[in-house]
């Protein structure tokens, strides 16, 4: 795709276009003639990016389903990793992964349980068989939690938390003083991107445990870390946010009835917040919207304005969080919502919000191509 675009823009010889066409043809031919799953999985390790996803991903799934009988416990972790990389949900293949893993869990190395479970958590694929898979994996790795690298154990626990699973032995291990000391020591040796990702996952796990498992009495110790993230963040006002914000103001009868980029306890940031009384009528805010203020500051968010105070609601009133969901919130090939989006919704509800989600494919649909249609959509979503 890049080569093709470049050839048209610079008027370079058509040999680049022919090269791209040859690559596409060779890729399709390879998939059609493939007959060994393990060999194909080895080759797929080196295929990624827009070209592969646009040209070959769907046909790759067809080929994998053709070889579904070759799925065994030996290649389950590698096949699961492929689904994690591609964000592609294919129930027949994932069901086969689950059944093979359950039947042969004693043969799968305990460290491979993370790769096996990851796509089920990430893609929010949950069936009775998948529940059994989680139980089997937890039983498999629990005796060996002390042998995991500390940062990998944090990742494992986090993606279990995405599915609202909090094995007590695992959680108490991670939030022990000894483990956190070992993790701090390991973080000093990790590459910067891995270090940052591990710290983020630990914070998210800490938040999930505090919200969903208060009985574990794990303290919230990431307040300063989250404040630092917000100060470093470069939060610009997008045209879409401005559009939705202004329309919400029209729906509620005033821009002062909507707040933008509201920071909640435990540091979630909701796109838009509004308050409705017991009669579903909007309540105004005493402070002007952060979007209005930021528009006067060269269209950048002012981090100091994000620390909104949560004023008390009148009896019967409700606090509403309105979240816009872009394409990253869904699986590659469908409108199936991913696990982390559902966990966020679950946590916001625990924090007292009614959560209204606006999927990008609804907002950008032909049905909502006029100003009045968008307003009617918002009104129905929030006030009905």
pLDDT band at 310 (very low <50, low <70, confident <90, very high): low
Which of 383, 363, 381 has the alpha carbon at shortest distance from 371? 363
Q: Which residues contact 316 (CB under 8 A, 6 or more apart)?
A: 277, 278
State which of 188, 205, 228 marks the end of a domain: 228
Within a domain: 180? yes
Q: How far is CA 172 from CA 47, 114, 163, 199, 318, in A?
A: 39, 18, 18, 18, 35
- Give 113's strand partners: none
β pairing state of 282-283 and 318-325? unpaired
SS3 263: strand
Mean pLDDT (whole number) for 202-216: 98
State percent of the chain over pLDDT 70: 89
Per-residue model confidence (pLDDT) at position 199: 97
Here the tokens at position 290 are 């952060």
Here the tokens at position 198 are 């591990």
Per-residue model confidence (pLDDT) at position 106: 97
Same domain membership, residue 70 and residue 108: yes
Mean pLDDT (whole number) for 89-101: 97
pLDDT tens figures, 36-47? 999 999 988 877
Is the pLDDT at 6 greater than 50? The verdict is: no
Within a domain: 221? yes
Here the tokens at position 214 are 């208060």
Residue that wins the pLDDT comparison between 241 and 342: 342
Mean pLDDT (whole number) for 247-258: 92
Q: How far is it, in rounded angstroms, from Cα 103 to Cα 91?
A: 18
Per-residue model confidence (pLDDT) at position 20: 77
Per-residue model confidence (pLDDT) at position 11: 52
Residue that wins the pLDDT comparison between 264 and 5: 264
Within a domain: 234? no
Same domain membership, residue 192 and residue 46: yes
Is the pLDDT at 112 greater than 60? The verdict is: yes
Mean pLDDT rounded to a whole number for the chain: 89
Per-residue model confidence (pLDDT) at position 296: 37
Same domain membership, residue 247 and residue 202: no
pLDDT band at 212 (very low <50, low <70, confident <90, very high): very high
Per-residue model confidence (pLDDT) at position 55: 80
**Cβ neighbours around 270 below 10 Å, total:** 21
Per-residue model confidence (pLDDT) at position 21: 79
Within a domain: 127? yes
- Give 319's strand partners: 275, 353
Domain that includes residue 269, residue range:
239-383
Q: 62-90 burial by CB neighbour count: b if 16+ within 10 A, else e?
A: ebbeebeebbebebbbbbbbbbbebbbbb
Same domain membership, residue 219 and residue 304: no
Q: How far is it, in rounded angstroms, from Cα 137 to Cα 114?
A: 8
Is the pLDDT at 90 greater than 50? The verdict is: yes
State which of 204, 228, 252 marks the end of a domain: 228
φ, ψ for residue 220, nearest 5 deg: -85, 110
Same domain membership, residue 219 and residue 248: no
Of the ranges 23-32, 70-79, 194-203, which one carries the lowest mean pLDDT score? Answer: 23-32
Here the tokens at position 13 are 């010889």
pLDDT tens figures, 276-308? 999 999 999 876 655 443 443 333 333 333 444
Per-residue model confidence (pLDDT) at position 288: 63
Q: Are 185 and 204 in contact (CB under 8 A)?
A: no
Q: Which residues contact 169 (CB under 8 A, 6 or more apart)?
A: 142, 145
Same domain membership, residue 329 and residue 205: no
Within a domain: 21? yes
pLDDT tens figures, 146-188? 999 999 999 999 999 999 999 999 999 999 999 999 999 999 9
Same domain membership, residue 222 and residue 243: no
Q: How far is it, in rounded angstroms, from Cα 225 to Cα 172?
A: 21
Mean pLDDT (whole number) for 10-16: 63
Same domain membership, residue 248 and residue 171: no
Same domain membership, residue 213 and residue 286: no
Q: How far is CA 12 from CA 1, 3, 22, 199, in A?
A: 14, 10, 17, 46
pLDDT band at 13 (very low <50, low <70, confident <90, very high): low
Q: How far is CA 184 from CA 174, 179, 319, 380, in A?
A: 12, 9, 38, 49
Within a domain: 233? no
pTM of the model: 0.88
Same domain membership, residue 174 and residue 109: yes
Within a domain: 271? yes
Q: Which helix (H) or strand (E) holds 375?
A: helix 371-383
Of the ranges 64-68, 132-136, 232-236, which one carries the lowest mean pLDDT score? Answer: 232-236
Q: What interhelical angle do 91-103 and 113-122 show, nearest 10? A: 150
Q: Report how many domains make up the chain.
A: 2
Does residue 139 come out as left (phi exceeding 0), alpha (psi in the -120 to 50 range) or beta? alpha
Is the pLDDT at 376 greater than 80? The verdict is: yes
Residue that wins the pLDDT comparison between 72 and 234: 72
Is the pLDDT at 229 greater than 80? The verdict is: yes
- Give 357's strand partners: 323
Question: Could you tell me where the DSSP H helices lie in 163-319?
Answer: 168-174, 177-187, 192-212, 223-232, 239-252, 290-295
Is the pLDDT at 224 greater than 90? The verdict is: yes
Same domain membership, residue 222 and residue 335: no
Same domain membership, residue 172 and residue 68: yes
Within a domain: 262? yes
State which of 173, 195, 228 marks the end of a domain: 228
Per-residue model confidence (pLDDT) at position 48: 65
Q: Are 287 and 302 in contact (CB under 8 A)?
A: no
């Amino acid at each position: 795709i890049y080569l093709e675009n470049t050839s048209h823009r610079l008027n370079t010889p058509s040999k680049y276009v022919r090269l791209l066409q040859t690559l596409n043809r060779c890729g399709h031919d390879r998939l059609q003639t493939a007959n060994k799953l393990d060999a194909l999985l080895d080759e797929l390790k080196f295929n990624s990016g827009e070209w592969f996803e646009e040209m070959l991903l769907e046909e790759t799934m067809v080929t994998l389903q053709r070889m579904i009988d070759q799925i065994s416990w030996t290649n389950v972790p590698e096949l699961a990793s492929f689904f994690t990389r591609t964000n592609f949900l294919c129930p027949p293949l994932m069901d086969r992964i689950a059944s093979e893993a359950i039947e042969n869990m004693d043969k799968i190395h305990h460290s491979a349980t993370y790769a096996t479970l990851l796509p089920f958590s990430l893609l929010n694929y949950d069936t009775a068989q998948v529940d059994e898979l989680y139980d089997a994996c937890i039983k498999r790795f629990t005796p060996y939690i002390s042998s995991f690298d500390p940062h990998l154990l944090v990742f494992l626990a986090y993606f279990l938390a995405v599915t609202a699973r909090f094995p007590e032995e695992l959680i108490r291990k991670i939030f022990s003083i000894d483990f956190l000391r070992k993790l701090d020591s390991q973080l000093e040796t990790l590459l910067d991107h891995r270090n940052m990702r591990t710290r983020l996952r630990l914070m998210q796990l800490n938040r999930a445990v505090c919200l969903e498992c208060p009985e574990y009495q794990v303290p919230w110790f990431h307040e300063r870390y989250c404040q630092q993230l917000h100060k470093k963040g470069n939060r610009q006002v997008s045209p879409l946010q401005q559009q939705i914000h202004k329309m919400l103001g029209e729906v509620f009868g005033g821009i002062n009835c909507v707040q933008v980029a509201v920071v909640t306890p435990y540091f979630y940031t909701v796109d838009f917040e509004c308050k409705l009384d017991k009669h579903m009528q909007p309540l105004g805010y005493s402070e002007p919207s952060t979007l209005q203020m930021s528009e006067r500051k060269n269209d950048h968010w002012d981090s100091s304005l994000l620390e909104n105070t949560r004023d008390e609601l009148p009896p019967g009133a409700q606090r509403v969080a309105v979240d816009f969901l872009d394409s990253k919130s869904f699986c590659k090939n469908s409108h199936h919502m991913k696990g982390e989006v559902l966990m966020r919704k679950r946590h916001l509800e625990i924090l007292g919000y009614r959560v209204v989600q606006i999927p990008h494919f609804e907002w950008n649909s032909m049905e909502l191509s006029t100003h009045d249609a968008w307003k009617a959509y918002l009104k129905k979503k929030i006030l009905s």
